[in-house]
Chain A
Amino acid sequence: MTKARIDARFTALKAQNRAAFIAYIMAGDPDLEQSFEILSGLPAAGADLIELGFPFSDPMAEGVPIQKAALRSLAARTTLHKTLDLVRRFRTGDQATPIILMGYLNPLMTYGFEAFATDAAEAGVDGCIIVDCPPEEADPLADALDASGVALIRLTAPTTDDARLKVVARRTSGFVYYVSVAGVTGAKSADVGSVAPAVVRVRAATGLPVAVGFGIKTPEGAAAVARVADAAVVGSALVEEIAFALAAHEGVASKVLVKASRLADAVHAARLADSAV
């Protein structure tokens, strides 16, 4: 399985001329039980792939919403081991939805790259996005993940020029994550006018599907991205629903899943609306 699950999902979506909706949540936010409830509800809410964050004490690329999600998760004593348990539990009910772990390098280094890669593959993890591990530093991790068939998904940014794209494309698989704004997660809004040519450029350089994230907050924004990219990723706007639900003493999972399905519907209808016009 593993990489194959990502490839199969993008192939199927392409055949339907649909972009993927990728939902990001943080493992253990606000606690393991409720995040399992969210996780297991996401496919029915329309998530085609799931990015599952694992917490780090110093999330340098995150804006306030995901910083707070990490703090809630750490307060609930979430670890990388427990994050893998969550995936294992998810896989007993869902064999088709790819799960990508997203986070920072130090917890992986502590776990040990080989042990992590083996355990992640066994748990049903399909890929990893490690924010602070650029290609120049990635070989030891890439060796371990390759041996277990887990994809190492690379980030590209507005600052990544053509020469550097070749470096980024090396040893990557699954899809490429295009960071649509220079900034932290959930702060600026993506400008679709500049995203469209960037997606074309990244797709040409890597030959892989391109997912766009970091600046998508609304169904409208997600739909706009879905018209030009292979996937739209939403994270901060979803984890903010957790904060809102906690503040209002409302059901956390239902609030997040309602938001997720609105975003998913917008992504899935985006190209239909296009062809209808």
Chain B
Amino acid sequence: MVNATSPPNNWDSYPDSNGRFGDYGGRYVAETLMPLVLDLDQAYAAAKADPAFHAELGGYMTHYVGRPSPLYFAERLTQYFGGARIYFKRDELNHTGAHKINNCMGQILLAMRMGKTRIIAETGAGQHGVATATVCARFGLPCVVYMGATDVERQKPNVFRMNLLGAEVRPVTSGAGTLKDAMNEAMRDWVTNVEDTYYLIGTAAGPHPYPAMVRDFQSVIGIEARAQMLEMEGRLPDAVVACIGGGSNAIGLFHPFLADESVRLIGVEAAGHGIPTGAHAASLTGGRPGVLHGNKTYLLQDDDGQIIDAHSISAGLDYPGIGPEHAFLHDVGRATYVSSTDEEALDAFRLCAELEGIIPALEPAHAVARVGEIARELGPDGIVLMNMCGRGDKDIFTVAEHLGRRL
């Protein structure tokens, strides 16, 4: 057992063989899916140990995704806040405009190793859907993307993008029509098409091995950033910051820094209209542990254990749960989790565009919104590293609407 006050010293030993990060994670799926989940665990373990798999993945990461992404000193934001030096890890410069492709490339190669011939995925903001549709087009596999009907409406450019890439986007009307409902529907598809279908989950959640596997594929972010920081600054950052919905970009950035005790890890959840209003997506701040979508983790839920619909202006953070490793890092105190409201994210969105010439996605805009105070707290001698996990082209319609402008 992990004592809540003394963090473990071997972070790589998580998850255990049952897919547990302390009390969180696991494999809570219907029996029909259980053999498939166990199969996937074995197939991933074999791929992970195979140098040929890594060589193939590395080749595509370099020549197709465009890695490594740059580490960028955000000079004007640094001046504006007047505190620590602010760096962005530029994962929005990846092919398809977000970090999601890192994971999709890894999983599609695994799916093909397993002989699967049909790919399904869920998507919220559409970034994971676009990345999945992209790798499916690249490797010639049919692709079905489940997307909440609400999200289809507010992320039209990404829906069109997926269609251009040959994917079928199926709008999901159950529930609030957002990411959790899309995930339910993808699970239903998977349980119905067990023979040929690979479920390409986009966040570091779901039944084991997904949280560990997605983390591993996304860890390229933190591994690169750590080396780049040592090269540019000659030392590690004091704080590392990322936004959190399910938490895949954050765990990808955090994980390679877990053993660096001097580095503070800060996750930024979506506070929507504000935590006290109940209309938010901050599962760690405003939720409690439970079981959903195959894993035990913090969830937004009522007194009867019914899941509450999340709210965020950012479709990619609009999820009532969080990856189990974040739940664990939260409980043991290795990472701290704060939040930004819709309004704060919108302000940060504009600030970043105006000062740095970078239009961030609304998701990392939540992280930008907290970076200023972290930088001031650290002072001018400090260094803060933030993951710019996606670009904001997809969000210009949402932002325009909030600014009262018609495009």
Contacts and interface: CB of A to CB of B under 8 A. Distances in A.
B292 A106 contact: yes
B293 interface: yes
A80 B35 contact: no
Nearest to B30: A61
A158 B34 contact: no
Nearest to B174: A67
A184 interface: yes
A134 B304 contact: no
B306 A56 contact: yes
A182 B184 CA distance: 16
14 contacts: A58-B184, A58-B292, A79-B303, A105-B28, A106-B301, A109-B289, A109-B291, A109-B305, A110-B290, A131-B30, A134-B28, A184-B192, A187-B192, A188-B192
A160 B289 CA distance: 29
A164 B307 CA distance: 31
Contacts of A223: none
A108 interface: yes
Given A107-B306, A109-B291, A111-B305, A137 B188 contact: no
Interface of A: 55-63, 67, 74, 79-81, 104-111, 131-134, 136-137, 154-161, 164, 168, 179, 182-184, 187-188
Contacts of A183: 32, 191-192
A60 B27 contact: no
Given A56-B306, A58-B175, A161 B35 contact: yes
Contact of B32 (A55, A74, A109, A157): A157
Given A105-B291, A132-B294, A61 B188 contact: yes
A156 B188 CA distance: 17
Contacts of A58: 175, 180, 184, 292-293, 307
Interface residues on B, range: 35 or more
A184 B188 CA distance: 6
Question: 5 closest A-B pairs (Cβ-Cβ)?
Answer: A110-B305, A107-B305, A157-B32, A183-B192, A79-B304
Contacts of B175: 57-58
A105 B180 CA distance: 17
Contacts of B193: 182
B4 interface: no
B301 A134 contact: no
B31 interface: yes
Nearest to A105: B291
A66 B32 CA distance: 18
B343 to A, nearest CB: 28
Interface string B26-61: 111111111110000000000000000000000000
Contact of A179 (B18, B29, B31, B174): B31
